[in-house]
A and B are shown apart, each in its own frame.
Chain A
Amino acid sequence: NAGVMQNPRHLVRRRGQEARLRCSPMKGHSHVYWYRQLPEEGLKFMVYLQKENIIDESGMPKERFSAEFPKEGPSILRIQQVVRGDSAAYFCASSPRGQGNYGYTFGSGTRLTVV
Chain B
Amino acid sequence: ELKVEQNPLFLSMQEGKNYTIYCNYSTTSDRLYWYRQDPGKSLESLFVLLSNGAVKQEGRLMASLDTKARLSTLHITAAVHDLSATYFCAVPTNAGGTSYGKLTFGQGTILTVHP
- Chain A residues in the interface with B (C-beta under 8 A): 31, 33, 35, 41-45, 48, 55-56, 58-59, 91, 93, 95, 98-109
Contacts and interface: CB of A to CB of B under 8 A. Distances in A.
B101 A93 contact: yes
B99 interface: yes
Contacts of B50: 101
Interface residues of B, number: 24
B31 to A, nearest CB: 6
Interface of B: 31, 33, 35, 41-43, 45, 48, 50, 88, 90, 92-93, 98-108
A94 to B, nearest CB: 9
Given A33-B101, A56-B100, 19 more contacts: A42-B107, A45-B104, A48-B100, A48-B101, A55-B100, A56-B93, A91-B43, A98-B100, A98-B101, A99-B98, A99-B99, A103-B33, A103-B45, A103-B48, A104-B101, A106-B43, A106-B45, A107-B42, A109-B42
A85 B42 CA distance: 21
Contacts of A102: 48
Contacts of A100: 31, 33, 48, 92, 99-101
Contacts of B45: 103-106
B101 A106 contact: no
